[in-house]
Amino acid sequence: MHTRTLGQGLEVSAIGLGCMGMSQGYGPNPGSRDEMIGVIRAAVDRQITFFDTAEVYGPYVNEELVGEALQPVRDEVVIATKFGWNIRDGKSVGLNSRPEQIRRVAEASLRRLRTDTIDLFYQHRVDPDVPIEDVAGAVGELIREGMVRHFGLSEPSAATIRTAHAVFPVTAVQSEYSLWTRDPEAEVLPTLAELGIGFVPFSPLGKGFFTGTVDASAPFSDGDVRGTIPRFEAENRAANTALVDHVKQLADSRGVTSAQIALAWLLAQQRWIVPIPGTRRTERLDENAGAARAALSADDVADLDALAARLGVHGARYNEQHMAYVGR
């Protein structure tokens, strides 16, 4: 696994591991907690060094899982976590990025992660009630105190990125980005290129769609977030299968998997892009890590872009309620 550099010189593996799905989001976990610890440690064995979690995943239990799994190799890895929600009775009940809340979250996350420093601390969603200048200043203070090393933003607008970066340097921006979610390309990616900020795409495999394991019509289980997303409604899934089928044809011709093509496409966009696919299975770790070796030519990338543009994508990537949190 080769490495890539985000903003402010933060070096990480070219492909990271999104850990949310080990605790929530995709229905019942087929593995035990000990098995998930084993998956995280297996990722380290495969030279994956970049791990993504958040206080709200669970809530809290995902940070505890990641902290226990990585404690023996803490000096060898980069851990990213997030602040920005009010959590009451085990549920998020709106945003809260007030400076005093940011500090409280940092202190609690440090305990759960079994570490004395958070490598990358993202604002999970932009809080319209708190000026981004205050957020950047609060995280900057934590960095000066040594509690945090780097400042990040998740799903912000280009204007918010610029304003925050002027107060305290932003290391990375995290947003959904993949062959079928191209929203960051218009404004966010050019802004990051200009300012020297890294980009971390989550859901780089289309929440499992590009793995070929999502049936076009089968219902999702209870607790699977895809059951609330318009893009995964049965009619839209059936229409979107055309893109997946074409990606599979290219993958088959190269002797790789559809997931590896989707990740390789992301890696080909910029050298400061580091996708964080999630998985609960060790065999998927091997597949995802192999994408770093499945290089695409400029013609391959252009053909995939043209294909995605021609076929289009049916359905929004979030429901209306969640879309209100995006791009502020």
Question: Which of the following is catalytic: 57, 60, 318, 325?
Answer: 57
Q: How far is CA 176 from the centre of its chain?
A: 7
6, 78, 193, 256 from 291: Cα distances, Å? 19, 20, 23, 8
Which is nearest to 152 in space by CA: 177, 187, 125? 125
Spatial contact of 77 and 51, defined as CB atoms under 8 Å apart: yes
Which is nearest to 172 in space by CA: 180, 23, 164? 164
How long, in residues, is the chain?
328
Reply yes or no on whether 26 is catalytic.
no
d(CA 37, CA 198): 28
Catalytic residues: 57
